[in-house]
Structures are given as C-alpha cells and as structure tokens.
Amino acid sequence: MFGGDVVPREDLARAGPDLRRLALQVDEDLYVVSGVPGPGDWFNHSCEPNAALRGQLTLVARRAIRRGEEVCYDYAMSDGSSYDEFTCGCGSALCRGRVTGDDWRLPELWARYGGQFSPYLQRRIDALVEGRARAREELGRVAHGRPAAADAEPMPLGVAP
C-alpha cells in the first residue's frame, strides 16, 4: 500500500524529477508523495505486470508471484497525466515501447485490466465508453431516419474510433 503526503499538481511540478518519479497519481490533479523515500516506493512499471491497483493506493497480485520476483504494475493503471513518461524497457512481448500519461485510453488495456485502474481513471474510461456508445447510437438514428436518396452518401456505420 502506498502512503505519503497528498500534493496538488502545481506542487509536484515544482518538485525535482527524483521526487516526481516516486509520486503516485491518485485523482485528478492529486498525487501521493512519500515523505520517507525508500524501497516501499520502488515499484517499477511493466507492460505485463504481476500486480495491479485496487483502489487508489493498494497493490494486489494479478497472479502468483515467485519468491525473488520483482513486483511491478502497469503505470497506466494509475497515471492520467504526463508527470512520469519514459521509454519502456520491460522486455515483455506486450511492451508498448513508451509509457505515457495517456496510456489509460488504450481499449486493449481496458480489456486486459478491467477494474484494475485507479478509481479516477475508471471514471474517465466509463465516460469515454459511454460517450462512444452515445455517438454510435446517434449515428444509427441519423442513418435510419434519413430518406433514401440515390445521391446519398453512405453512412460510416459500425466505425468505432
């Protein structure tokens, strides 16, 4: 479980890169920074992690973890801003190559991690999915309500962004 001081984005921006690397985003514009830096903060990222978030602060195992194996999680589960972006060298076949604050937007991660995102990111994902469903519904209504005309443009039905 992570712990520390909750700091707003402006304060984190003023902190040095070493402290930023140890921060954990827990909500829109809020970060937890440990007041006692040490091994408790050293959870690396992996694109194929053996641990996941439960809530904002708790890491839980996604599978059995062998003795001596490094515990890591996917930072896409917690990070929704650009405070800690880097080139990834996790070595997994699933490696994204670059880890960014926008990775939570990747639908393949929603499928892989369902429910293992920080609650504030899950709210963002739910809003995105709901918005897409509404847009598809609207597109269907427009297509079906349109009078048939020889010169009508075909509607791009079934095209999901």
> Smaller CB distance to Zn ion: residue 19 or 95?
95
User: What's the min distance (Å) between Cβ of 72 and Zn ion?
Assistant: 10
User: What's the min distance (Å) between Cβ of 97 and Zn ion?
Assistant: 7
> Smaller CB distance to Zn ion: residue 73 or 110?
73
**CA dihedral of residues 127, 128, 132, 137 (deg, nearest 10):** 0
> Smaller CB distance to Zn ion: residue 90 or 128?
90
User: What's the min distance (Å) between Cβ of 115 and Zn ion?
Assistant: 21
User: What's the min distance (Å) between Cβ of 98 and Zn ion?
Assistant: 9
Around Cβ 57, how many Cβ atoms within 10 Å?
A: 15
> Smaller CB distance to Zn ion: residue 112 or 136?
112
Binding interface with Zn ion (CB under 5 A): 47, 88, 90, 95
Secondary structure string (H, E, C) spanning the chain: CCCCEEEEHHHHHHCCHHHHHHCEEEECCEEEECCCCCHHHCCEECCCCCEEEECCCEEEECCCCCCCCCCEECHHHCCCCHHHCEECCCCCCCCCCEECCCHHHCHHHHHHHCCCCCHHHHHHHHHHHHHHHHHHHHHHHHHHHCCCCCCCCCCCCCCCC
Q: Can you read off the two tokens belonging to residue 3?
A: 């712990």
> Smaller CB distance to Zn ion: residue 29 or 85?
85
User: What's the min distance (Å) between Cβ of 49 and Zn ion?
Assistant: 10
